[in-house]
Structure 1
Amino acid sequence: MKTKLLYHTNSFTYECTATIVAIEGDDIALDATAFYPGGGGQMADRGIITWENQDYPASVISMHKRNDIVWHSLDYPPPPLGTKVVGTIDWDFRYQMMRTHTALHILCGIIWKEFGIQVTGGQMYPDRARMDFAMENLDKERINYIEEQVNTAIEADYPIRVYSLPREKAFAIPDLVRTKINLLPPDIEEVRIVEIVGLDLQADGGTHVNHTREVGGIRITKTENKGRINKRLEIMLDSYNS
């Protein structure tokens, strides 16, 4: 049994019809889902699941992925196994996560390109995000330069491509994994690639926008010294007008 991950092929999918294939208490597994279950610093999607003869929509209160199955925890007793349901994500929240995730890829792409520095961690929040780097020097001049270069890349409107490659072919790409520790499972057979064409290419499992201008712009709002060679940058997004 395996859940088809619709967000992997199209991050703009916000609704889908699916069948319940397993139930554990108030948790349901579906044969397909548009909900991103969280991971890699990106927050899980929010939203509702509906079906026929339901008193009110069931909110998805949490999610987790176990092996190849995505589980959706509901605030409402689920219907029987085999029931057709409709899952609808909170699109505003998802799009914010997509813009934020792409912004972080631009940030680490610029820092790698300019300074050859790896990522040591990261996390997204509804209103901001942070990324940690194996960086010794982070003075005001460098902060301003990084912010300027990131916003220049956003404005350049690079297209973003998402595709998968066989493991051997993927790992033949230099610097594919930008984190200091390789977090990819050792038994993975296909590697999902997110490429900001002309700027950055990384292994990644999250959701992204289609071109960099959708990010809108970023501001580095806070920095922290997390160790002699570990610095944290916190960013916020500017608005995007399509």
Structure 2
Amino acid sequence: MRFWYSGEMTEHLFYQDPLARTFQAEIREISRDRRELVLDRTLFYPEGGGQPGDRGTLQGFAVTNTRKDHDGKILHILESPLPEYMPEHRPDYTPDDTPRRTGESISEGTILTGELDWDHRFDYMQQHTGQHLLSGALFRIARANTVSVHQGAEITTIEIDLQTLPRETLEAVEDEVNHQIRLDAPVRTFTVDQRELEHYPLRRPTSRTGTIRLVEIEGIDRVACGGVHLPRTGLLNLVQTVGHETIRNRLRLSFKIGNRALRDYRERHREITRSAALLSCHPRDLPHRIEAGQRELQDLRRELRLRTEALARHILGAADSPETPRELLLEKEPEELLKALAEEACTDRRRRIILVNRCGGEALWAIVVGEDHPFPQEELRRKVLAPLGAKGGGKAPLWRGVLPEASPERIRTMTRAFLDLWP
């Protein structure tokens, strides 16, 4: 298949042999900033159809992306401007043994050797081909139409025109796709004229006209598509469902496809095995051990809360008469104790107390003024908090917050200011 632009043509090598990794091409155009190249032929697929553009190298110069411009030209985007001449540090050979002497000029007509970033290309061929299998299986098994697709760096998502999908149905779709992978079915691409489309029923109608490129996995899926795919389904290895969510009244399904699925399985297996070893159990017993641990933790937290509340009652009960304004200073105590002390202090209508818990460079504070006394909100803000830059607030009978730069002197200044409200 050839593509014409400006009276010239760029040969789409990526359609002819999707597994090819290197090629030679002639420079046809160089942009003014020498950051974009147009070649007479290329293996670099330009981004489109949800598939990102290829990257790699041209004569060793890094290509960070490939895309089409508004005229349809395939642009190879370089990481840095192409030099006028071959740099001296470059070796006097290329992967295909074509000499490239240092000092040789680089201009239109120069032949370059291109090499794909193969891991990147192969990954997205797996994503694109796997998406075809999944969309085909979703249509056949669940009568779900694919509305949109996103091939991300970690997962591929497929949005369908249903709001829900039973777990058993989704598992049947996954099983069917992995069965088709094991069959190693051929993935065929061919072009037809739009007038011939009636002889090729498509899973999804197309609005394209003229010559249309079709991708077919016999008995599984057939759709108009301009992406780059694997030649056989067996190269997918594995597909697994990893999540789902409802968005815009449609269901979005998330998948790990190909090598991503294998890596995810390996990582999950490693973490599950490690977690089971920490709990001294078999991996299959891990959910039960976690549930038992959660129940035990809840019981311990409940017991700790009751003991903290009892300690707070004891501390406040051992103090002087609650009618006397007082201070209570703590050092590096749990935040739960300060909270319990404040809540216990609120139960006595006569109480007027400032509680401060110094932890490192700051201190947490709580102020309680019982209902038997007017709550001096404005005075607290103006005389106690503002001079020291203390942050916080609340409503009667409790205010609380934080005191930055909580040196003993600053804490003493704060508590003295509070006690001075009742001379």
TM-score, structure 2 length as denominator? 0.51
- The 8 Å contact of residues 97 and 126 in structure 1, kept in 2 or not, is answered as no
| In the alignment, structure 1 residue 64 sits paired with structure 2 residue 37 | no
Counterpart residue number, 2:48: 39
| In the alignment, structure 1 residue 87 sits paired with structure 2 residue 114 | yes
Counterpart residue number, 2:135: 108
In the alignment, the residues of structure 2 paired with residue 155 and residue 127 of structure 1 have an alpha-carbon distance, to the nearest angstrom, of: 24
Residue aligned with 1:194, SS: strand
What are structure 1's unaligned runs of at least 5 residues?
51-56
Counterpart residue number, 1:133: 160
Counterpart residue number, 2:225: 204
Counterpart residue number, 1:217: 238
In the alignment, the residues of structure 1 paired with residue 117 and residue 254 of structure 2 have an alpha-carbon distance, to the nearest angstrom, of: 24
**Structure 1 counterpart of 2:174, which letter?**
E
The correspondence of residues 1-242 of structure 1 with structure 2, limited to 5 A, is 1-24=8-31, 25=33, 26-50=35-59, 57-66=60-69, 67-78=71-82, 79-170=106-197, 172-177=199-204, 182=206, 184-185=207-208, 188-228=209-249, 230-237=250-257, 238-239=261-262
Greater length-normalized contact order (CA 8 Å, ≥ 6 residues apart): 1
**Structure 2 counterpart of 1:174, which letter?**
P
In the alignment, the residues of structure 1 paired with residue 170 and residue 196 of structure 2 have an alpha-carbon distance, to the nearest angstrom, of: 35
In the alignment, the residues of structure 2 paired with residue 30 and residue 214 of structure 1 have an alpha-carbon distance, to the nearest angstrom, of: 30
Displacement of 1:227 after TM fit? 2.4
**Structure 1 counterpart of 2:72, which letter?**
D
- The 8 Å contact of residues 202 and 224 in structure 2, kept in 1 or not, is answered as no
Displacement of 1:63 after TM fit? 2.1
In the alignment, the residues of structure 2 paired with residue 173 and residue 30 of structure 1 have an alpha-carbon distance, to the nearest angstrom, of: 34
- The 8 Å contact of residues 163 and 246 in structure 2, kept in 1 or not, is answered as no
What CA deviation, in whole Å up to 9, does each residue of 1:185-233 have, x standing for no partner? 4xx42111111122111111111112212111111001110122x2111
What CA deviation, in whole Å up to 9, does each residue of 1:106-163 have, x standing for no partner? 0001111123322111111333211111113223222222212221221222111111
- The 8 Å contact of residues 142 and 169 in structure 2, kept in 1 or not, is answered as no
**Structure 2 counterpart of 1:61, which letter?**
T
In the alignment, the residues of structure 2 paired with residue 8 and residue 211 of structure 1 have an alpha-carbon distance, to the nearest angstrom, of: 14
**Structure 2 counterpart of 1:62, which letter?**
N
In the alignment, the residues of structure 2 paired with residue 9 and residue 171 of structure 1 have an alpha-carbon distance, to the nearest angstrom, of: 26
* Aligned length in residues: 227
Identity score, percent: 26
In the alignment, the residues of structure 2 paired with residue 144 and residue 114 of structure 1 have an alpha-carbon distance, to the nearest angstrom, of: 11
Counterpart residue number, 1:54: none
**Structure 2 counterpart of 1:22, which letter?**
E
Residue aligned with 2:164, SS: coil
Higher-Rg structure is 2
In the alignment, the residues of structure 1 paired with residue 198 and residue 54 of structure 2 have an alpha-carbon distance, to the nearest angstrom, of: 29
In the alignment, the residues of structure 2 paired with residue 99 and residue 71 of structure 1 have an alpha-carbon distance, to the nearest angstrom, of: 24
Greater share of strand: 1
- The 8 Å contact of residues 54 and 121 in structure 2, kept in 1 or not, is answered as yes
CA gap of 1:219–1:16, structure 2 versus 1, over 3 A, is same
In the alignment, the residues of structure 2 paired with residue 107 and residue 176 of structure 1 have an alpha-carbon distance, to the nearest angstrom, of: 12
- The 8 Å contact of residues 20 and 82 in structure 1, kept in 2 or not, is answered as yes
- The 8 Å contact of residues 158 and 198 in structure 1, kept in 2 or not, is answered as no
In the alignment, the residues of structure 1 paired with residue 67 and residue 52 of structure 2 have an alpha-carbon distance, to the nearest angstrom, of: 11
Residue aligned with 2:228, SS: coil
What are structure 2's unaligned runs of at least 5 residues?
1-7, 83-105, 264-423
